[in-house]
Structure formats: C-alpha cells, structure tokens
Structure 1
Amino acid sequence: MISVIEIFKEITAIPRCSGTYEPFINYIKDFASKNDYDCYVDNYHNILCKKSNSKAKLSIQNHYDIVCLKENCIPTIIEEDGFLKAKESTLGADNGIGCSYMLWLMTQGYDCEFLFTSDEEIGLIGANNLEHQLNADYMLNIDSEQEGEICIGCAGGVDIFGKSSFKSIIENEENYKLYEVEISNLPGGHSGVDIHKNVPNGIKLIGELIVENNALLLDINGGERINSIPVNVKAIIACKHKPKEIPHDNIRIRKIATKSEHLNVWDRNIATFIYTFANGVRAYDEKLGVVLNSINLAKITTKIDAIEVELSARSMDNDELKKLKKETTVLLKSFGFDVTTNGKYSAWRPDINEFTNRVLDIYKKYDEDASLEAIHAGLECAIFKKKFPHMKLASIGPNIFNPHSNREKVEIASIEKLSKIVKEIVDSF
C-alpha cells in the first residue's frame, strides 16, 4: 500500500501555488476515478470526493494550495536528518501533507466526504465560497502543525490595506546622496503561529534605518505574502551622510553613483509609520500560553502613484478583532493613508464535545501528553462551523516547522505516527 509520504512526494511535483487549480484538479479527478469515488468541482475550485450513495458520517478536509515565495514555484524535496525540506523554497507541507492523508485513505476505500479547498493561503477563498453540500456530522481537518495538539479553536483574522499618494519633487540643495538599502534572508515565518517568536520583520528594520538616519524615502518594496513575516526588503533612500547601520547582520548599504539635482520623495509620514507601528503580539494569555491579539506589517510596495502597505490582524475573540481593525484603520488614516479592509474569517470559539473527546482518547493511545488546544492562526474550521452549525470539528497534524518560509520542514516520524492516529479515528466511524 502506498504511504502518505510517497503520496506527498508525488503531489509536491504538481503546481499548487495559490491561484493555480487545473493541474491538481485533473490529478484528483483521475485519482478519484481509479479508486471508485465520484468527484465534484465547484465554481471556486473546491474539490469534493465521495462514494456513490455515500452514507459518510465524517468529512475530512484540507486546503490544497501552498504559499510560494516565488511565483510558479514547484518545491524540490530534500530528505535530511529525519525531515522533509525543500531546496530554497517553501515545502508545501502546509497543506500538502493533509491532502496526502486524504488520498491515502481514499486508496483504502473509506466512505468519507473528502473535501479539498482552494486558495486558503490568500484569504480562505475556497472555504468562504464553498458550494458543495456536506452531510456528515463530524469534520476532521489535518491542517494543524504541532503533534500532540488537537485544535478545537483558532484566531479570526482580517487584512488591512493602506495607500499613500503623498510625494513631492524637491531640489537637492542640501547635497543628499542616494543609497540602496537591502535586507534579505531573514528567518521569516507564519504571521500567526510564529508571531510571538521575535522573528525580525524586514519592513520594520528598514523603517528604523530610515528614521534614525533622518533619510528621505524614494522607493521601497518588501515582503512576500500577507500571511508571512517579511524576509526581503529593498529601498532607495537619500541621506546627507552615509547611513549608520542598525545592529543587524542581514543589512546591506550601497551608495548609488548617480547625483540628482532633484529628488522625488515620499512623505516622511510613511517611514515614521513603519518605525513607530507596534508590530507583533498585542495581547498574550500567560496562563494558557497563547497569543490573544496580534498584527503583522507584511508587505510594502511602491507603485507609480502610491505606496501601499498590507497588514494582517488576528484575534482569538471577534470583538477584539473588530477593535484591532478599527484602531489600525484610524492609525493609518492619521498618517495620511487611505484604508480598505478585507474581513477574512471569524474566530472559532473552542468547543469540547463528544467528537473532540473521541479524537483525544484515540490520540492518547499514541501520546499520553496529547491535549486539546486553540491556536493563533486561521483554520477553515471556523468557516465550516459557521456554514454547518450541526458539525463537530477538530484539527490535528504532524510536526511542521517554519511554514510560509524557506525553512519549512516536516518531521517524517511525526507523519508516520499521525497516519496511525488518523486511520484509527476514521475506523471509529
């Protein structure tokens, strides 16, 4: 029988960056046909596989898109020190591993509703617009990233976008010199589960350098995805002296030989906002050991007529999320930005029930320290709970480290251990 790992290696060769659908859909259609499942695809590229005349009590769900820090990336898998990694890219274990468990179960003919959702990484688009009807009373999501933790709740999230068009052309009477400032190869990470780890934010570091050197901003671009901590940032600045470096190893400053009589500069409020913005954890529950509220300054882009910033806010409480959204909107406007928001998903309030207890009891056979937890990241479970109020949900997964970054890796032993747990959960139905 083919293993979960073998399936994962196979589907990793299929293009699955967010916004790419047909290659994986065609693969699933063929796979379903070979294993005697009906396959349905809705208008939002969500895929549902189930048996004809299914009487499934359990839905199993995962998203099939992956974060690609480079466009059209297909990860090259490296096996090293008990882990699967990728060569100079994200791995896509988030959530190719979850999909691999589903396909593995399909090879064994289980009567479940197997739901593969699209575009989770760019706003949970597939889940939010799901057109398929699910009839099962229980859902197992395999998109968690910490072995031993059974997720029964998650943070809600909202994306916030700022746009500033304030720039001016000034005479270079004070003999400003031009410099290219670049920050690269920072650790990066997931803007939810890694936000409390003091991972350096490249945009914040650039803002610090600009303000502390009293420099002018001419151009800036940085950040990879709205749900990632920015790794690479580059800016063109004007300064009366060679900029003093801030204490960080990943900063490079290069003088530009061109001498300009006029400078096309952006409003100082932009750099001031970056520098002063309280990025990261906003509230933390010491007793539960969980981040309650956070916000990540994820991307900044210079367009022809504007500089645009993108931020991702998260909260374990819907009222707190609204408050964080409102405060950030007001703050951005005070610095001269026009603001829009995109409400992605609500928080999933923790719920202990007969299904979560069943999953916990099975898990404890393999790990006596297994526990019910809530995580500071978005899971599609929050959307499905709202769409299907009758459903009982839980989320599990193997050890995946540093998702959404080039350091992403998944533990092989953890994948194999979870295979036994997943199979026993499904067998219990």
Structure 2
Amino acid sequence: MSTIIDIFKEITKLQRCSGNHNEFIKYMQDLSKNLGYICLIDSANNILCKKENGKAKIVFQSHYDIVCLNENCIPQIIEDDETLKALNSTLGADNGIGCSYMIALMYQNFDGEFLFTSDEEIGLIGANSLTLSIESKYMLNLDSEEEAEICIGCAGGVDIKALFNDKKIVENRDNLDLYEISIENLAGGHSGVDIDKDIPNAIKLLIKSIKECDGKILDINGGERINSIPANAKAIIASNKEPKKSNENMKIEKINTKSDHFVVYNNKLRDFLYSFENGVREINKEIEVVQSSINLALIKTSIDDISIEFSARAMDNKDLKELKEKTKKELENISCKVETYGKYPAWSVDINSFTNKVLEIYKNYNKNAKLKAIHAGLECAIFKDKFPDLKIASIGPTIKYPHSKNEFVYKKSIENVFEVVKNIANSI
C-alpha cells in the first residue's frame, strides 16, 4: 500500500458495520503475519498488534467499526480532487482513517503498539471490555475529527430507554380521520459534536405536527442510531384536523379508510415529547464547548408498547448523573418504565508533558494547532480510567457530518495529519 488513501479504500471494502468483526480481524491477522507483528485478539474482538520483543513506548488507538445507516452497508467511495465521500451512506472515515494511519505505520515497521477496538459506535463496547495489556506510557488516539485540534478531554455519556404502554381501544365517536405523516432525508449528524449546529430532529418535527393538529398516535417510528440526530421518522395518527407540515421534507397523506375503533396511545407521551428540551442544555464558556446535551434519538412502536431512546452527554460526570436522573424522573412521571445503558465516563481535561509535546510538534505543521475538549464520547475516557498513568492525546483529520450520509473527509487533511502522526511516533 503506497498511501493512506489506498489503505483506507482497501479496508472500506471490508464489512465493518458495528457488530461485524470477522473480516477486519482476518485482514489484520494476515497483515500482521506478513509484516512481522504478533496479532492478539480478546473476547470483545479488540485487536492488538505489536512486535514480539518490541520496546514500544506509544500505543496508537482507533476503533474499526463504522456507523451504518443501512444494515451491513459497505460504503461505495466517491472521490473528487478534494474529498472522499460515499454514495448514499456514511463513509466510515470515522474511524477508518485512524485505522489507516496505524496500518501505514505498521508497513513502515514502527515499533509501537497498535490497538484497534471494536463496537465503539454502539456504546464503546470494545474499550469497556478490553482485556489486552497495554505496556506503553503514551497513547495517541486517532478518532478526532478536526485538523489542528488536539483533544485532551471529552464528554461522558449515557443512553436512556423508556417503554410507554399506556394505550387503549377507543370508539371513533368523533369520526376522526387517519393520516400517515413521514419525514425523510434530513441532514442527520453526530449527536455530540453536531448537537449545537441547529440540525433538525426528524422525531421532534413529527411530534410537532401531531401535537398541533391534536393527533392521537397509533404508530410511530423514527431515528437510525442511538448516537445520531434522527433523519427519518413516520407515524400514523387519528385527528379531526388535517396535520400541517413542520418541514419541507415532510409528507402528509390521508388514509382513506374509516374505522369504528382505534388503538391509541395516551396523549401524555405526545405532549411530553413536544415540550421536551432537546439538544444543548448548557454551554461551558470557559473551554468553549457544550457542557451538557440530550438527543431524542430513536422511537419505535411494537405490539406491546412504544420505546423511546435518548443519548445524554456532559463534560462532567456530576452533570451527567444529574441529567440522567432528571430525564429518568420526567419519563417515570408519564408512566414510562425506564432503564439506562451504555454509560461511559467523561475524560477530564488533562494537560501534561505528552499533550504539550504533541502541541509543539503539531505547531511545526500548523501554527493554529491548539488543545481542546470536545462534546463527544472518545474511548480515551475509558482508557484513562483503566490505565490512570497513561498520558493521552487525540488527533485526526477534518471529517464533516460523521454518522450521516453526508459524511466526507478532506484528502489534504488526511495527508497533513499523517505527517504529524509520523513525527510524534518518531519523537517518542
């Protein structure tokens, strides 16, 4: 492989949607054997490549899974002079470019540790379950998404799931009409780094139209991933008023069927979601980052109930706990059964000799390089918790609209950051 982009194209052909491990593991096992590295796999499908008798001082780390908006999608790369993107899907530059940097260093026979973690996009599962031993003193995570920004802190997160089953069969005494309301192909985006960009939430827009025509919910489904801003949603409602569009991408169709009875959900769910404060809750002006946020990510109707899932984030573990408990109580107040999962800690801002060294090196390539914290979950928080003495920094190329079909990465940025990565490697 001659370039980072060549490597990225090669691994993009592999099935790497979250939950799929075999193809990439086989690829890394074969590559390690050919390049003289040992390749260790743990029970969580994490991969660690290193020299058998090496003296590594630095571990490079990336997750190898990607967000797939369609099940088992393999991105078809579209390339122009400046960017790489994919045909009607996520690209997987998050975190495929980071993996490509690591593979490129292995081709250069670098004596380091190379940790490829699994299932980051569905709850940082691989990092949380890591049993492989890290011997290095320094970690360079390659999952950041803005060139010249060196991440030294990130938000913690927790996912909240509510089940609402307050429904009943009602007689259609008011001669209500049935409507199907759908909204498709909104921009979507990452519910952490994009939460302050005023990206419309498909579920919230749907609820707005339902509430404002006093509609009763019979069926509702929306969202793609727990960590994405919903781009699509659909509902069937009963109302005596025709719903109004709340977005130009919305379609409203009257169902020409009269029913004597409906199975409808109690309006208190509709009313709660309508008034729910979605998005940014607080800004941290000191470090110029969102302090706390919550995203209404998924909603799904089953035979028994409606499930609703939220992704909460905060830069401080105390704030995260308070946001979780507040949301949980509000949901319980409308008779939801609530559980939380996928929790990971915040990575408190940490400036040290390693982060300063990374900044010094980066400034040789870009005078605007700076240390920064981000409102997204990075595996760094978990590694810092597992290995308290490990000094960590995170960098990466400029990737726009990750977790959405509009995701793209600048080719020049890929190349720029790899020069920094190589210099950091050699300086350690």
SS in 1 for 2:365: coil
The AA in structure 2 aligned to 1:153 is: G
Deviations, residues 259-280 of structure 1 (Å, cap 9, x unaligned): 1111110111111111010000
Q: CA deviation at 1:335?
A: 1.5
How far the C-alpha of 1:244 sits from its partner, in A, is 2.4
Structure 1 residue 111 displacement after superposition:
0.7
CA distance in 1, matches of 2:193, 2:279: 11
Shift of 1:156: 0.3
> 2:228: which partner in 1?
228
Please say if 1:27 is aligned against 2:27: yes
Name the SS of the counterpart of 1:365 in structure 2.
Answer: helix
Cα displacement (A) at 1:285: 2.2
Is 1:197 aligned to residue 197 of structure 2? yes
Q: Name the residue aligned to 2:282.
A: 283
The residue number in structure 1 matching 2:360 is: 361
Aligned to 1:212: 212
Cα distance in 1 for residues equivalent to 2:413 and 2:342: 34
Counterpart in 1 of 2:180?
180
- The secondary structure found in structure 2 opposite 1:71 is coil
SS at match of 1:33: helix
Q: Distance in 1 between matches of 2:350 and 2:288?
A: 18
Conservation of the 8 A alpha-carbon contact between 1:269 and 1:336? no
Q: Which AA in structure 2 matches 1:314?
A: R
Please, which runs of 5 or more residues in structure 1 have no aligned partner?
none
Quick one: distance in 1 between partners of 2:126 and 2:402? 20
- Give the Cα separation in 2 of the matches to 1:183 and 1:274: 17
How far apart are 1:243 and its partner, in Å?
1.6
Is the aligned partner of 1:99 residue 2:108? no
**Distance in 2 of aligned mates of 1:46 and 1:26:** 12
What amino acid sits opposite 2:189 in the alignment? G
Counterpart code for 1:376: H
Matched residue, 2:82: 82
Aligned-pair distance for 1:180? 0.5
1:274 aligns with 2:273: yes
Tell me how far 1:288 sits from its aligned partner: 2.8
Question: Cα–Cα, structure 1 residues 40 and 374, in superposed 2: closer, same or farther, change >3 Å?
Answer: same
Structure 2 partner of 1:408: 407
Partner residue, 1:335: 334
Please say if residues 46 and 126 of structure 2, whose CA atoms lie closer than 8 Å, have aligned partners that are also in contact.
Answer: yes
1:145 aligns with 2:148: no
Superposition pairs for residues 252-331 of structure 1, below 5 Å? 252-331=251-330
Q: Deviations over 1:85-137 (max 9, x none)?
A: 00000000000010000000000000111000000000000000101000100
Residue 287 of structure 1: CA displacement?
A: 4.2
Whichever residue aligns with residue 204 of structure 2, its letter is: K
Contact 1:226 1:299 in 2 (8 A): yes
Instruction: Give the residue type in structure 2 aligned to 1:111.
Output: D
Number of the residue aligned with 1:393: 392
Q: Where do 5+ consecutive residues of structure 2 fail to align? A: none
Q: How many Å apart are 1:343 and its aligned residue? A: 4.6
CA RMSD of aligned residues (A): 0.8
CA distance in 2, matches of 1:387, 1:183: 43
**1:370-410 deviation per Cα after TM superposition (whole angstroms, max 9, x unaligned):** 00000000000000001111100000000000000000000
Asked if the contact 1:143–1:396 (Cα under 8 Å) also holds between the matched residues in 2, the reply is yes
Asked whether the 8 Å contact 2:287–2:372 carries over to 1, the reply is no
Cross-structure match for 2:48? 48
1:378 matched residue in structure 2: 377
- The one-character-per-residue Cα deviations of 1:234-253 (angstroms, maximum 9, x if unpaired) are 0001111322223x211100
Measured in 1, the distance between the counterparts of 2:173 and 2:48 equals 65
Query: 2:105 & 2:286 partners in 1: Cα distance?
Result: 38
Contact 2:287 2:373 in 1 (8 A): no
Q: Which residue of 2 aligns with 1:60?
A: 60
Residue identity opposite 1:126 in structure 2: G
Cα separation, partners in 2 of 1:260 and 1:77, compared to 1, 3 Å: same
SS in 1 for 2:218: strand
Q: Give distance in 2, aligned partners of 1:164 and 1:56.
A: 52
2:39 equivalent in structure 1: 39
Secondary structure of residue in 2 paired with 1:193: coil
Offset of residue 80 of structure 1: 2.5
Residues 86-95 or 256-265, more deviating: 256-265
Report the Cα distance in structure 2 between the residues aligned to 1:341 and 1:56, rounded to whole angstroms: 38
Do the aligned residues in 1 keep the contact of 2:214 with 2:241 (CA within 8 Å)? Answer: no
1:427 alignment partner in structure 2: 426
> 2 CA distance for matches of 1:37 and 1:88?
37
Q: Do the aligned partners of 2:58 and 2:137 also contact (CA within 8 Å) in 1?
A: yes
Please list the CA deviations of residues 310-339 of structure 1 after superposition, one character each: whole Å capped at 9, or x if unmatched: 000000000000000000000111122110
CA distance in 2, matches of 1:341, 1:74: 31
Q: Secondary structure of the equivalent of 1:181? A: strand
For the residues of structure 2 that align with 1:396 and 1:408, how far apart are their CA atoms?
Answer: 18
The residue number in structure 1 matching 2:156 is: 156
CA contact (8 A) 1:156 1:378 kept: yes
**Does the 8 A contact of 2:280 with 2:293 survive in 1?**
yes
After TM superposition, the score normalised by the length of structure 2 is: 0.99
